[in-house]
């Protein structure tokens, strides 16, 4: 797990260099992807390169205060552009909806549970946040979570907490500052820490982040061989869901500085995608939520397409590559996100988001 400066040759892919953040969760996720790649391509060798990102290094500020995009991806994307690595494994929620020119998401893996969870300090045993005493501190660095907590639990004190998953759990258990923290279910499950979950938060209490629970593998768009290598890992249903979510966020113009949440699902008929989006003021007093559906062209649970000789005809939706045979379904998901964003804008979402942005800058 060392950094490399040697340029990789896209035409000689017997050895593929995989990039990852240094955090324990990121490495667990990247190793999972590498195991899947090795299973599908036993003739190739996969080497891991890990590095710290801007978001990993700056821990004394809340994420929206740092003032940069791509906080957890920039350094890795530079390595991709320099061709010192072939691909990078990300938590999809860390990837901006617009990627650097020439980079794409070549595969989206099957989604883990996207919901958030309440993790209480070990000495506290209550049935959810409503049962916590007044002014109990709940830790989160997410404006999305903060706004929803304030909207539902006015008796609580919402406090900033930064650091990777291990660090935040240690702060919860040792610092005695927080009664609980809010974390993504997916990370806790991937680390094998389900026992720390005090309560799973339903969408009625906490809508989740765009792309949460999904892993994305980023690569260079013109690197056809790497795209082919990634194809067996791509999960079509998950890709459709997160394209709709990313299109919604992109059309709203939101990012980590805006309290925006989503819920999405493929309905039982397998041909209907349902997307719900929410926008909040920072204090949680203003809330807009709306749900729309779209019809997909064919069954999203069908077998993945066969490998093709080249991807010259692929389309890209919010950074995610669509196999040619699936383009119409991906386009429908993308349009659903745009339609939902436009519907919320008509109801005042833009003014709420602008108010939240200014309030965050002044705080």
Residue 266 CA to residue 268 CA, distance in Å, equals 7
Q: Report the C-alpha gap between 55 and 69 in whole angstroms.
A: 10
Sorted by sequence, the CB contacts under 8 Å of residue 293 that are 6+ apart come out as 267, 272, 273, 274, 275, 336
Task: Assess contact for 258 and 145: CB atoms under 8 A.
Answer: no
**Are 280 and 287 a contacting pair, CB within 8 Å?**
yes
CA dihedral 114, 25, 89, 232 (to 10 degrees): -60
Max Cα-Cα span within the chain: 62
* Active-site residue (options: 94, 116, 223, 326): 94
Other CB atoms within 10 Å distance of the CB of residue 328: 12
Here the tokens at position 343 are: 């519907």
E strands along the chain, which residues?
15-21, 45-51, 87-91, 103-108, 116-120, 137-139, 157-159, 180-184, 199-200, 215-220, 260-266, 272-280, 287-295, 315-317, 320-322
What is the CA 322 to chain-centroid distance, rounded?
A: 18
Identify whether the C-beta of residue 270 lies closer than 8 Å to the C-beta of residue 306: no
Contact 200, 186 (CB under 8 A): no
Among this protein's residues, is 116 annotated catalytic? no
Query: Annotated active-site positions, please?
Result: 94
């Amino acid at each position: 797990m060392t950094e490399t400066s040697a340029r990789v040759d896209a035409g000689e892919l017997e050895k593929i260099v995989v990039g990852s953040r240094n955090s324990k969760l990121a490495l667990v996720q990247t190793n999972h992807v590498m195991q899947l790649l090795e299973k599908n391509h036993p003739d190739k060798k996969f080497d891991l390169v890990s590095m710290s990102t801007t978001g990993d290094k700056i821990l004394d500020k809340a994420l929206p205060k740092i003032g940069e995009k791509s906080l957890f991806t920039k350094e890795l994307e530079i390595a991709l552009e320099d061709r010192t690595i072939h691909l990078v494994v990300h938590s999809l929620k860390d990837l901006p909806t617009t990627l650097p020119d020439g980079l794409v998401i070549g595969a989206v893996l099957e989604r883990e549970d996207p919901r958030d969870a309440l993790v209480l300090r070990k000495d506290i045993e209550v049935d959810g946040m409503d049962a916590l005493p007044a002014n109990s501190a709940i830790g989160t660095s997410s404006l999305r979570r903060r706004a929803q907590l304030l909207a539902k639990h006015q008796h609580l004190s919402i406090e900033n907490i930064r650091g990777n998953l291990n660090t935040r759990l240690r702060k919860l258990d040792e610092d005695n500052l927080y009664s609980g923290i809010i974390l993504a279910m997916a990370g806790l499950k991937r680390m094998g820490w389900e026992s720390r979950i005090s309560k799973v938060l339903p969408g009625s209490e906490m809508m989740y982040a765009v792309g949460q629970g999904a892993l994305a593998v980023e690569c260079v768009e013109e690197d056809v061989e790497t795209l082919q290598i990634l194809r067996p890992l791509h999960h079509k249903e998950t890709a459709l869901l997160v394209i709709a979510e990313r299109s919604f966020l992109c059309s709203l113009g939101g990012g980590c500085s805006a309290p925006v949440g989503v819920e999405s699902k493929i309905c039982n008929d397998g041909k209907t995608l349902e997307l719900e989006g929410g926008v909040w003021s920072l204090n949680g007093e203003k809330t807009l939520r709306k749900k729309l559906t779209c019809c997909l062209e064919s069954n999203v649970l069908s077998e993945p397409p066969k490998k093709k000789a080249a991807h010259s005809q692929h389309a890209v939706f919010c950074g995610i590559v669509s196999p040619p045979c699936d383009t119409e379904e991906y386009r429908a998901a993308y349009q659903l996100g745009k339609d939902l964003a436009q519907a919320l804008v008509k109801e005042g979402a833009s003014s709420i988001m602008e108010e939240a942005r200014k309030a965050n800058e002044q705080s």
